Amino acid sequence: LSTPAALWRLKPFVKPVVWRLAGGAASALAAALIALMIPIVLEQIIGGPVRSGHIDAIVWGAAAVFALALGEALMVWLRRQFVLFPATQVEYTMRTELYSRLQTLPVAFHDRWQSGQLLSRMMQDIGLIRRWLAFGLVLLVVNVLTIIIGSVLLFRWHWLLGTIFLVTAIPLWIRGYLFEKRYGALTRRSQDQAGDLATSVEESVHGIRVLKAFGRGKHALRRFSRQAETLRETEMSKAGAIASIWFWLDLMPQIAFGLSLMSGIWLISQGAITEAELFAFFAMAVVLRWPIESIGFLFSFMLDARTATDRVFEIFSETNTITDPEHPVHIDEPRGELAFESAHFRYQDAGAEE
């Protein structure tokens, strides 16, 4: 499944609270739009009152900027209020339904699955999905829209300056595509290894008397150390992948700033733009810097959530082989007797564990 298709499986759990999440996204988008209005107001202040020296107008301009900043802060507060309840509600529903599912699955399922893997899915993976719904999903959608709207506004001052920012963003999308393939595989490996590690801890704690009685403590420690080291190596690989994408996310905006500064000075010398317009352009670019830099983190967050969703739905998709008959036999006069007729037993095939 593609990442959007894999995450779409969360729809039944999200549907009851989708309007609250939409309200959070709308509040976050409103905050972003207010932030994008501030450079335009600054352009009017610098090009008008500051140039002419009208102190009263400067004070009113500063008050307008303060009001916009206050409105942005209010929208950020509303976003948190909107998304807090629905995200925790989704987490509660998924966790209770997963626990109920575990109770109905046959013993053969629990023989195949390690308890640590089930615990990591129940606690760690569902918690990660909750954090992504409350934070990652909303900000990813809003920041992408902010980048698109802000990039269009950059062309408001001069097409050359807007083109520089647009062209320097192309390498970021290429690196993001390559990052998805590498990081997705590392994330799944890391979460599976964390489940194995949790299994080792649980088995050692429950069997501590046996380990001490037979002097197997050092053996269990060596086994645990190997698993912990394997997980550490995978986490280091994940950190390397994130560092690689962050390198490009930090480098390309700086290049864009430098090229825009040289181009802007040249445009001013040619009379194509004013100093106030160049200042407003860079103020807008500064507003867009955080959304651009956050894309790498939010993208990796989305891949973590996708892997967590895959792991949780592996349990939901398990088939219960022990079911009630479609047409059960009803006994009019039950008697206190128990009989086994045509009952058979055999060990599970070795290949069925795979």
- The CATH code of the domain that includes 123 is 1.20.1560.10
Instruction: Judge whether 109 lies within some domain.
Output: yes
pLDDT of residue 70: 92
pLDDT of residue 49: 67
Instruction: Judge whether 224 lies within some domain.
Output: no
pLDDT of residue 326: 75
**Which residue shows structure tokens 């501030």?**
38
How far apart, in whole angstroms, are the C-alpha atoms of residue 63 and residue 61?
5
pLDDT of residue 354: 41
Instruction: Judge whether 338 lies within some domain.
Output: no
Instruction: Judge whether 175 lies within some domain.
Output: yes
Q: What DSSP character marks residue 122?
A: I
pLDDT of residue 93: 92
Instruction: Judge whether 162 lies within some domain.
Output: yes
pLDDT in tens, 150-202: 888 888 888 888 888 888 877 877 777 677 667 777 887 887 888 788 888 87
Spell out the residues 6+ positions from residue 353 whose beta carbon is closer than 8 angstroms to its own: 112
pLDDT of residue 105: 86
Instruction: Judge whether 97 lies within some domain.
Output: yes
How far apart, in whole angstroms, are the C-alpha atoms of residue 142 and residue 284?
16
| Domain ranges, residue 181 | 3-192+241-322
How far apart, in whole angstroms, are the C-alpha atoms of residue 257 and residue 288?
12
pTM reported for the whole predicted model: 0.72
Distance of CA 341 to the CA centre of its chain: 54
pLDDT of residue 350: 54
pLDDT in tens, 28-39: 999 989 988 888
Instruction: Judge whether 333 lies within some domain.
Output: no
Query: Which residues in the chain come in under a pLDDT of 70?
Result: 49-57, 177, 180-181, 334, 348-354
Domain count, the chain: 1
pLDDT of residue 84: 83
Instruction: Judge whether 78 lies within some domain.
Output: yes
